[in-house]
Amino acid sequence: MRPVQLILIVMLIGILFLYFNRLRSGLVDRVVVALFVVVGITLAAIPDVTMKIAAFVGVGRGADLFMYLALVGIGFFLLVLYSKLRDIESTISELARSVAIDTAHEPGRAADPRPSEPFPKKE
């Protein structure tokens, strides 16, 4: 086994432990991450498999196949992050509207410059 293979395997196992211990996720997410780590360890330990898969799909080298798949994976990851960002922005907008409506005052009447509570409780 070459040193780079050992480094890659240790890094993948570290990523797996970090993901399981630090990040909250659903069962499907955990299974997908575990599957990617197992595939990554397999491809790092047995690089000839990557070459055979690359030859089968018509790519010159296993490293090229890995790069193509990594680019697709990064694109998917960016789309997921963008989707989550849009959800968060939508939630913040709804909360801001709700707070604005709850703290609104009647037209023609001045608002209390110092409310007793920053966000009055609903009764």
Convert the pLDDT of each residue in 25-34 to its tens digit. 788 888 888 8
Contacts 24+ apart (CB under 8 A), 3-6: 5/44, 5/45, 5/47
Q: What is the pLDDT of residues 78-92, one digit of tens each?
A: 998 899 999 999 999
Q: Residues of 75-98 as b/e, b for ≥16 C-beta within 10 angstroms?
A: eeeeeeeeeeeeeeeeeeeeeeee
Residue scoring higher pLDDT (22 or 83): 83
For residue 27, what are the contacts with CB-CB under 8 A and spacing of at least 6? Answer: none
Tokens for 61? 């080298």
What is the residue extent of each domain of the chain? 1-45, 62-103
User: What is the mean predicted confidence (pLDDT) over 86-101?
Assistant: 94
Instruction: Give the pTM.
Output: 0.62
Q: Is the pLDDT of residue 118 over 90?
A: no
pLDDT tens-digit series, residues 32-86: 888 988 988 888 888 888 889 999 999 988 888 888 988 998 998 899 889 999 9
Phi, psi of 107 (to 5 degrees): -65, 140
Per-residue tokens: 63:
């490293």
More confident residue, 42 or 1: 42
pLDDT of residue 57: 92
Question: Which tokens in the block code for residue 40?
Answer: 């990554």
Around Cβ 109, how many Cβ atoms within 10 Å?
7
* C-beta of residue 74 within 8 angstroms of C-beta of residue 67: no
